[in-house]
A and B are shown apart, each in its own frame.
Chain A
Amino acid sequence: MKHLDEQTLALYAGGDLGVFSSLAVRWHLAGCGRCGQIVAALKEARESLAGSAGLLPADLDWEAMQAEMSANIRLGLAAGRIVETQPNPAVMAGWRTAAALASVTVLIAGGVYLHRPGPRRISRETPAALADASRGILVQASSAGIHLRENGRAMTLVGLANAPATLAVDTGGSARARYIDEETGEVTIHHVYAPSQNE
């Protein structure tokens, strides 16, 4: 009698053969004691493996380890909850920086404002203009930027898009636009001085 190869029997013992292959093996086993003994041994080994696998190593103090792991898991979960409820540190840092920068800018701008000839007009989001008709110079501030025109030539210092601007012109011949980035709080000041008569 020709016996089945051991690999086929090993797969059969674990239920890893297809339906038709299993039937063929079963048919063979019905008449072959030698292959039947191999399958029985394979099944026994498989059961002993599964049965022994749940046993703890002898040198392991499971009670202590269980208590330690349980405590660590609870600690990890508690830490996770704390992290979830805390605001994002990066965002916090960004806002703190922005607030500090804004404060410093306000102080500087205040100082500059106090030491310069007083502006005639301060407007927000409305165009402002200073004209020096005798020299054909026009300095104009708008939310789009600061425009300088002289004798038919013109240039524009383009303002920051999507940033609210505070505009100011003064009789000393300058225009100023102050932009605040709403996302970062960063303050940008554009200050354009019209050329003086000596230049």
Chain B
Amino acid sequence: MSEARPAALGEASEAAERQNQFIAANLRRIFLQILRIVGDTEDAQDLTQEVFIKALQRSEQLRDIEKAAHWLSRIATNAAIDFLRRQGRMSFSALDDLPHELAVTGDDSPEQNVLRAEQCSVLQGGLRRLSQRERLALVLRDVEGLPAEEVARHMNCSKATVRSHIANARIKFKR
């Protein structure tokens, strides 16, 4: 008994440490992934927390870190799209409100900041030209890297429709 208890405490501590590492390694990526889909910082924050809690409650999934990160991305995408459906807006309209400038850290040089600001401006300007469904298709395909079949499944439409959305979105985004 006296030996079993410290052993159990050690395992719990190790599991907690694994969870913390998993959170630290994936939090920013998942937050941004959700933010790109839902378009609102507070919604993205809430959904990110929900996604991590849901994922970490099934700790057996964390054994393979690489698979777990991929699995987490899928949960995040589904959660974000479900959220839009629940809100009755399969929409990216809130993305228009995203700031044009980029986060600046103390380590960035002025040149880097300018470059990143330009990149963000391009991103926002390009996304504004797209319809809601074109935006979703483009983000899922070209940012999340999902295959067209999976994008179609997420958007509840045919692969041909998704290809059309993706093509139109790329053309408009390029201009």
Chain A residues packing against B (C-beta within 8 Å): 6-8, 10-11, 13-14, 16, 41-42, 44-46, 48-60, 62, 65-66, 68-70, 72-74, 76-77, 80
Q: Is the CB of A10 within 8 A of B170?
A: yes
Most A CB within 10 A of own CB, among B126, B166, B167? B167
- The SS class assigned to the A binding surface is helix
Contacts of A80 in B (CB 8 A): 53, 57
User: Is A69 in contact with B49, judged by CB distance below 8 angstroms?
Assistant: yes
21 A-B pairs within 8 Å (CB atoms) are namely: A6-B167, A10-B170, A10-B171, A14-B141, A14-B170, A45-B126, A48-B123, A49-B126, A49-B142, A49-B173, A52-B119, A52-B120, A58-B102, A60-B41, A62-B28, A66-B27, A69-B45, A73-B56, A76-B53, A77-B53, A77-B57
- Contact flags B93-130 to A (C-beta < 8 A → 1, else 0): 00000111111100000000000100110110010000
Which residues of chain A are near B116, meaning CB under 8 Å?
55
Contact of A42 with B28 in the complex, beta carbons under 8 Å: no
Residues of A within 8 A of B123 (CB): 48-49, 52-53, 55
Secondary structure of the B side of the interface? helix
The distance from the CB of B172 to the nearest CB of chain A, in whole angstroms, is 10
Known A-B contacts A11-B163, A55-B120, A70-B23; the reply to A45 vs B174 at CB < 8 A is: yes
In the complex, residue of chain A having the shortest beta-carbon distance to the beta carbon of B32: A54
Residues of chain A contacted by B139 (CB below 8 angstroms) = 53
What chain B residues lie within 8 Å of A73 (beta carbons)? 23, 49, 52-53, 56
Q: Do A50 and B143 touch (CB < 8 A)?
A: yes
Evaluate whether A77 and B104 lie within 8 angstroms (CB atoms) in the complex, with A7-B168, A45-B173, A59-B99 already known: no
Known: A11-B166, A52-B119. Contact between A57 and B103, CB under 8 A?
A: yes
- B164 interface residue (CB < 8 Å to A): yes
Contact B45 A65, beta carbon cutoff 8 Å? yes
In the complex, B31 has a CB within 8 A of chain A: yes
CA distance A41 to B170 in the complex (A): 10
* Residue numbers in A under 8 Å from B126 (CB-CB): 45, 49
Q: Which residues of A contact B31 (CB under 8 A)?
A: 65, 69
B166 near A10: Cβ-Cβ < 8 Å: yes
B174 partner residues in chain A, CB cutoff 8 A: 10, 41-42, 44-45
In the assembled complex, the Cα of A50 lies from the Cα of B123 at a distance in Å of 9
What per-residue 1/0 map shows which CB atoms of B10-43 lie under 8 Å from chain A? 0000000001100110011101100110000100
What residue in chain A is nearest B148 (Cβ atoms)?
A: A16
B45 touches A56 (CB 8 A): no
- B166, A60: Cβ atoms closer than 8 Å: no
Residues in A with CB closer than 8 Å to B104 are 58
B138 CB-CB contact with A under 8 Å: yes
Chain B residues within 8 Å of A11, by CB = 163, 166-167
Q: What CA separation (Å) do A52 and B19 show in the bound complex?
A: 28
Q: How far is the CA of A127 from the CA of B53 in the complex (A)?
A: 59
- Tell whether B48 is near chain A: CB-to-CB under 8 Å: yes
A58 and B57 CA atoms in complex are apart in Å by 32
